[in-house]
Structure 1
Amino acid sequence: MKEKYWVPALEKADNILREIGEYPNQMRLIDLSKKLGINKSSLYSLLNTMEILKWIVKEDGDTYTLGPALGAVSAAYFRQFNILQSFYKEASLSVSVINEHIQLGILEEGNVVYLGKVEGASRVRLITDPGMRFPANASAIGKIQLTQYDKEELKGIFPKELEKKTPYTISTIEELYENVRIAKENGYAIENEEASLGFHCVAAPVYNYENKIIAGVSFTMMTNSWDAKQDLAREEIISLANRLSQFAGHTSSLNRA
């Protein structure tokens, strides 16, 4: 249902911008009219206004590209974007669904630096807190961010012997690469008692407008909760990562790693 004070002309302009952004220098007036179901007379007025405002540029062949005014608006948006602020707002919604702890972390060389945490109802104390560093090979939130590297790059990041936190921690580059490769295919990473005995994590990547991983988010829970919630937790952490990615300007298909 539309909002009470919905403005159809703005909706049409939004649809036009999205179409031109998806197919730059390919869409003419007639193409946009057919694709969006807007009559040519109305569309001509909209395109002319948007061109004057520099929202779009009319190129040779009467096709359109996005204009410089949108670049200025985008730059202003990214100057104000605050991933930590967005995390606390969105992670609270995800915690209300799963009721387990969520963390946000970034990758620095071979370590995760934790930036934020939203707690669920569990009274169990996590071994990591905002501001702490932790080996990326021993955490789901680290491994999902390592998906951006190939095996040779991983060799350059980590020493030959990886730091072990439990008997289950990945300890070789070969094992780490295989684990990261699977995480990349799946779009999420799982860690079973690799950071701390009795704890399990599932993490998903946050992308920016350049399609680069800028952070990771993860649920952490004990084994009894993991057995009951792992599927739902996986879906919810992917959803959270997708929302944060959208705020960061990522627009490609969000089922990826």
Structure 2
Amino acid sequence: MRTASWNESVSVLDRVTAVFDAFGEQDEGLGVSELARRANLPKSTVSRIAADLVAQRFLDRDGDLLYLGIRLFELGQTVEQPRTLRRLALPVMSELRGITGQTVHLAVLEGADVVFVAIVRGQPTASPLARIGGRLPAHATALGKAILAFSPSTEVNRITSGELEKRTPHTISDPALLMRELVGIRRLGAATEKEECAVGRACTASPILDHGGVPVAAISVAGSIEDLDPDRVAPAVRAAAMTLSRRLSSDRGA
């Protein structure tokens, strides 16, 4: 059998990733046709990939429906930082949800994106913006800006040196404007955004810092612009982030 080249291997990996990304947090199971549509891949390709993933327990099959498999969950539990963050954060997130009535997110910076590692749902929304494991561009989110404001300049420059996606008419896509906003966020200890990531949505976030002041994650409160005043919830979000920063430092020192 011919050995696959590096480019071919990357192509296969991209397709497998597209299949995994097609699953949403609220999905009860997807058929091959729907997976192919969401992944923007031929149905025959998705069918072959799905068969291999089922054989390796990365996907589970029940009749014509496919689900994310138990092996993904098992592997996810071995990722130490997100697992520790979730364990420490969930009680604080639940309390913050109780105070604000809105959805609370926990996310880490990965490349130029934030990746959601925990979500505590607040008031129901027609279409949740985020899912666990999902990504959004850091520069367009309060979560990402809260982390970037406390990150080393090399990290910030790496992200702002490229083209910044303008997700809505309100997204700050000018690197110079973004840098000025990050200075203010660092001074205030909280980032706010209105309709920069999604029209009709608002968010406030604060960074979770380790004992050296390096950001490891951020916590946020998000909701519709009608229901959420970002500045009003900022003190509660900052307090939650400070609590998590202390707990994380204590846990690592234990």
Shorter-chain TM-score above 0.5: yes
> What does residue 234 of structure 1 align with?
234
Matches within 5 A, 1:97-246: 97-149=99-151, 153-227=155-229, 230-246=230-246
Q: Secondary structure at the match of 2:212?
A: coil
Aligned mates of 1:155, 1:238 — CA distance in 2: 25
Which runs of 4 or more aligned residues in structure 1 lie more than 6 Å from their structure 2 counterparts after TM superposition? none
Note if contact 1:155-1:173 (Cα within 8 Å) is conserved in structure 2: no
The one-letter code of the counterpart of 2:159 is I
Q: Secondary structure at the match of 2:228?
A: helix
The one-letter code of the counterpart of 2:91 is K
Aligned-residue Cα RMSD (Å) equals: 2.3
Over residues 108-143 of structure 1, what are the superposed CA-to-partner deviations in whole Å (9 max), with x where a residue is unaligned? 121101101001123343221110111000000000
Identity %: 26
Q: Name the stretch that deviates more: 104-113 or 153-162.
A: 153-162
Residue 156 of structure 1 and its aligned partner are, at CA, apart by 2.2
The one-letter code of the counterpart of 2:241 is A
Q: Flag the structure with larger Rg.
A: 1
Residue segments in structure 1 that go unaligned for 5+ positions in a row: 1-77, 251-257
Note if contact 2:170-2:195 (Cα within 8 Å) is conserved in structure 1: yes
Going from structure 1 to structure 2, the CA distance change for 1:150 and 1:88 (only over 3 Å counts) comes to closer
Aligned mates of 1:214, 1:198 — CA distance in 2: 28
Q: Secondary structure at the match of 2:221?
A: strand
Going from structure 1 to structure 2, the CA distance change for 1:235 and 1:172 (only over 3 Å counts) comes to same
Going from structure 1 to structure 2, the CA distance change for 1:165 and 1:212 (only over 3 Å counts) comes to same
Residue 103 of structure 1 and its aligned partner are, at CA, apart by 0.2
Aligned mates of 1:133, 1:120 — CA distance in 2: 20
Q: Secondary structure at the match of 2:245?
A: helix
The one-letter code of the counterpart of 1:113 is V
Going from structure 1 to structure 2, the CA distance change for 1:200 and 1:82 (only over 3 Å counts) comes to same
Going from structure 1 to structure 2, the CA distance change for 1:224 and 1:153 (only over 3 Å counts) comes to same
Going from structure 1 to structure 2, the CA distance change for 1:224 and 1:172 (only over 3 Å counts) comes to same
Going from structure 1 to structure 2, the CA distance change for 1:152 and 1:87 (only over 3 Å counts) comes to closer
Note if contact 1:141-1:218 (Cα within 8 Å) is conserved in structure 2: yes
Aligned mates of 1:189, 1:206 — CA distance in 2: 13
The one-letter code of the counterpart of 1:249 is S
Aligned mates of 1:203, 1:167 — CA distance in 2: 21
Note if contact 1:217-1:241 (Cα within 8 Å) is conserved in structure 2: yes
Q: What is the TM-score when the length of structure 2 is the normalising length?
A: 0.62
Residue 179 of structure 1 and its aligned partner are, at CA, apart by 1.2
Note if contact 2:192-2:231 (Cα within 8 Å) is conserved in structure 1: no
Aligned mates of 1:249, 1:139 — CA distance in 2: 25
Note if contact 1:151-1:177 (Cα within 8 Å) is conserved in structure 2: no
> How many residues of Structure 1 are paired with residues of Structure 2 in the alignment?
171
